[in-house]
Amino acid sequence: MSTSTALYEGKAKRVFPTDDPDQVLFEYKDDATAFNGVKHETFSGKGELNNRLSAHLLQAVARAGVPTHFIRLVSERQQLCRKVEIIPLEVILRNRAAGSMAKRLGLDEGTPLKTTVVEYSYKNDALGDPLIAADHAVAIGAATFAEIGVMERCTRVVNRILGQLFLDVGIELIDFKLEFGRTASGEVVLADEISPDTCRLWDVTTSERFDKDRFRKDLAPLLEGYREVLRRLEAQEGVSQ
């Protein structure tokens, strides 16, 4: 655990300064929240699992050329990252309808889509992270059109890379949320985490959920799902080495 004061404390992690002004320490907490923090529980070991899962997934997309904030794992629940100014947008990509899209459009969870959907939410807890158009994001100064272009291209590459990585271990990537940030030099890089907190992950054969929906909907013990994802990814990595 770091002893310095956190620069930022979110629902599932803390961010600490380091001696290097361009680097921060990300610490994953054991907390799980849903419905804008209304539902909240602590799961011992969740921080360690998400630290490892997020490192694994960020490194996979970095190998495919997507710039990310990840530098290296530091400890069981900490990773060193590039310091960025977070762009206040959630970029969500959907391969099937689920969650808020299924609800908004009256579709069954898992309905196939005729095209991949990329959408934006404005990161603002007081407003409940509303769905917005890319034009809104530019209009309110959250990002430029050029930055939106970079984010969308990166998000589609992440979908291709992680979609295949998960499919290789019998998991379908239903949807996911990404966040991006600007480095000191203004480069837009993938920031924050990629984990079962931020992706929907279903077993290809049984449609069992391995992600945070286990907690949101009280479907099954949360961490067994996260452990299964990590187990499959690590077993696959062992095979491909």
Provide, rounded to whole angstroms, the least separation between the CB of residue 129 and ligand UDP: 6
Provide, rounded to whole angstroms, the least separation between the CB of residue 122 and ligand UDP: 11
Residue 58 as a binder of ligand UDP (CB under 6 A): the answer is: no
Contact with ligand UDP (CB under 6 A) among 2, 86, 107, 129? 129
Nearer of residues 74 and 220 to ligand UDP, judged by Cβ = 220
Provide, rounded to whole angstroms, the least separation between the CB of residue 71 and ligand UDP: 22
Among 44, 52, 125, 131, residue whose Cα is nearest residue 91: 131
Q: What is the rounded CA–CA span in Å between residue 145 and residue 150? A: 9
Provide, rounded to whole angstroms, the least separation between the CB of residue 175 and ligand UDP: 4
Backbone angles phi, psi at 60, to 5 degrees: -65, -40
Residue 199 as a binder of ligand UDP (CB under 6 A): the answer is: yes
Total site size for ligand UDP, rule CB under 6 A: 14
Please identify which residue in the block is written with the tokens 């320490």. Answer: 25
Which amino acid type is present at position 150?
V
Report the greatest alpha carbon distance in the chain.
50
Give the 3-state secondary structure of residue 48: helix
**Residue partners of 210: CB distance under 8 A and separation at least 6:** 171, 196, 201, 202, 203, 225, 226, 228, 229
Instruction: Report yes or no: 70 and 84 within 8 Å, Cβ to Cβ.
Output: no
Please identify which residue in the block is written with the tokens 């452990």. Answer: 227
Contact with ligand UDP (CB under 6 A) among 198, 210, 214, 222? 198
Which of the ranges 39-47, 93-101, 154-162, 217-225 carries the binding residues for ligand UDP, by CB under 6 A?
A: 93-101
Provide, rounded to whole angstroms, the least separation between the CB of residue 35 and ligand UDP: 7
Nearer of residues 48 and 90 to ligand UDP, judged by Cβ = 90
Provide, rounded to whole angstroms, the least separation between the CB of residue 19 and ligand UDP: 31
Binding region for ligand UDP (CB under 6 A):
90, 92, 98-101, 129, 175-177, 198-200, 212
